[in-house]
Each structure stands twice: as C-alpha cells, then as structure tokens.
Structure 1
Amino acid sequence: MESPSIMNHLSIGTNDVERALSFYDQVLGTLGASRQIDMPGIGAAFGKLYPEFWVQKPHNEGEAGVANGVHFAFNAESKAAVDAFYQAAMKAGAVSDGEPGPRPHYGAAYYGCFVYDPDGHKIEATFWDETLSEV
C-alpha cells in the first residue's frame, strides 16, 4: 500500500531527554500515539504504528536549539482531541501560542491549537472537519 504522506519521520532535539519524553508521552497520548522505539538516555520515537516523531539529544552532542518559523502539526481525529491535546500540553508545561478553535484564514474546515513545548519547539494539533470543506 502506498503511503498518503510525503514524510517518513522527523526529529527534534532536546537538552533534557526525560522532561521532553514525559511531556510527549502525555501530549501525544491524547492523539493515540505512543513510544514506538525507546533509547534510554538518548531519546524515543513516537507514532501510532511506526516511529514518526523522534525526540532526542542531538547526534553531534551539541546543544539542542529551535528554528524560528518551524512548527510541527499533529493530526487529531476530532475537535475534542485538539482540546485534549491542548489541555495535556498546558498541564505538562507548555506555553500557549493559540487556544483551540477555528482558524478561518486556513480554511473553513480547520480547527487547531498551538503551543511551545518545554524546549521551545512550536507544536500544533489540528482537526480538518471535511463536512465544512469548501468544494
């Protein structure tokens, strides 16, 4: 079966592996994702069926940083899942960059939220309500 996605996986760096993994265990769990690969002291990969989102120490052993203008969006299966993602993120130490809600400038079907994880990476959960899609 051909994958509908153009991405296989992506990785983000962290300077505090245990804090980052605890955060993503809580937040990605609201979307049905879990650790697919665990590399103690180095990081882990999250996904539903295979490793798609890696959180780890940088391979060059330098300090992890964030990229201005980059963010990572996760699919949610409902508006309630977006809301749960946001609440879990806030409880786990995220900084809000946009509470859950519609973003009509992205399209009538878009519902999402934005937060910064404890390392400063911008992440998003989004639900695309196809019943509201413009034809």
Structure 2
Amino acid sequence: MSHVSIGVTDYAKSRAFYEAVLATIGAKVVMEVDAPGVQAAAFGKQFPEFWVQTPHDGEKPSVGNGTHFGFLAPNNSAVRAFWDKAVELGASPDGEPGPRPHYGEAYYGCFLRDLDGHKIEAMAWNAAFDTGHD
C-alpha cells in the first residue's frame, strides 16, 4: 500500500496533533497542500504515507466503523512515547501499550482514538525480519 488519508474537523489542530505524535516514531510532515477547498499534510518517514486533510467534498468528516490506522514504531519505547504524546494532546485511550500475543509473540502495541475519533495504533514487531536476501 502507498498511503491512506483521513478527513479531520479542525485541520490546524489535527496537523499539530499528528506532527507531535508521529515524531515519536520518526515520521514528519513531508508534503503539504493548501489549495482552494482543501488543506492537507502528508506524514511519513521518507515519503507521504499518511495524509490528514479537510474532506474534498466540504462535508463533515466521518470515522470508519472497523477502520484503524497502524503506525510501525522502531521499538517498545517508541510505542509508549506515541501513547503518552497522543494522550497528552487529547487522544482517548483505547488499549494501553503492551504485548498482544494473540497478534503474534513479537507484537507490542497500543490503541487510541484521535481528536476526531479515528482509531490509531502504534506497534513494534520485536523479531528479526527475514528479507530473503543474503
């Protein structure tokens, strides 16, 4: 997958929220759009991966039932920092940081609801990845 986008109610507040929260896992604003009818910021570690924007149709954004956005953290400490920063900035807890063995023995993550109610997650995979290359 290349990227995902979410609609937000208060663009400036949501941009600031994600700028602070995603910094805990090494992501930053890598691109912005300020055009008639839309404001958007793309966050990523190297390229646009996660967009926060005003909806293109000008309508109120809505939260997807059963949808959540998982962000890969480099380690358990970064998952905790993501959680702490998000809660500090007004996110609602929806699953404290910790191991989730039912997702795999190597899985460590947390879940929150952002300022608009979107479910977000930070997770670390505490096992070596086999790339298939020598």
TM-score (norm 1): 0.90
**Structure 2 match to 1:70:** 67
**Structure 1 match to 2:33:** 39
Question: Given residue 47 of structure 1, which amino acid in structure 2 is its aligned partner?
Answer: G
Q: 2:76 aligns with which of 76, 79, 103?
A: 79
Question: Given residue 83 of structure 2, which amino acid in structure 1 is its aligned partner?
Answer: Y
Mapped partners of 2:12, 2:40: distance in 1: 8
Q: Report the secondary structure of 2:95's partner residue.
A: strand
| Runs of 4+ more than 6 Å apart | none
Long gaps (5+) in structure 1: 1-6
Q: Report the secondary structure of 1:98's partner residue.
A: coil
Q: 1:21 aligns with which of 12, 15, 18?
A: 15
Question: Given residue 21 of structure 2, which amino acid in structure 1 is its aligned partner?
Answer: V
Please state how far the C-alpha of 1:107 moved relative to its aligned partner. Answer: 1.1
Please state how far the C-alpha of 1:71 moved relative to its aligned partner. Answer: 0.1
Please state how far the C-alpha of 1:87 moved relative to its aligned partner. Answer: 0.3
Mapped partners of 1:15, 1:39: distance in 2: 16
Q: Report the secondary structure of 2:15's partner residue.
A: helix
Question: Given residue 79 of structure 1, which amino acid in structure 2 is its aligned partner?
Answer: N
> How much identity, in percent, do the aligned residues show?
53
Please state how far the C-alpha of 1:122 moved relative to its aligned partner. Answer: 0.2
TM-score (norm 2): 0.90
Alignment of 1:1-135 (within 5 A): 7-40=1-34, 42-130=39-127
Mapped partners of 1:26, 1:91: distance in 2: 10
The aligned length equals 125
Per-residue deviation, residues 36-59 of structure 1 (Å, max 9, x unmatched): 112246120000111110000111
Mapped partners of 1:78, 1:110: distance in 2: 10
Mapped partners of 2:86, 2:27: distance in 1: 14
Question: Given residue 122 of structure 1, which amino acid in structure 2 is its aligned partner?
Answer: K
Long gaps (5+) in structure 2: 129-134
Mapped partners of 1:103, 1:28: distance in 2: 21
Mapped partners of 2:33, 2:13: distance in 1: 14
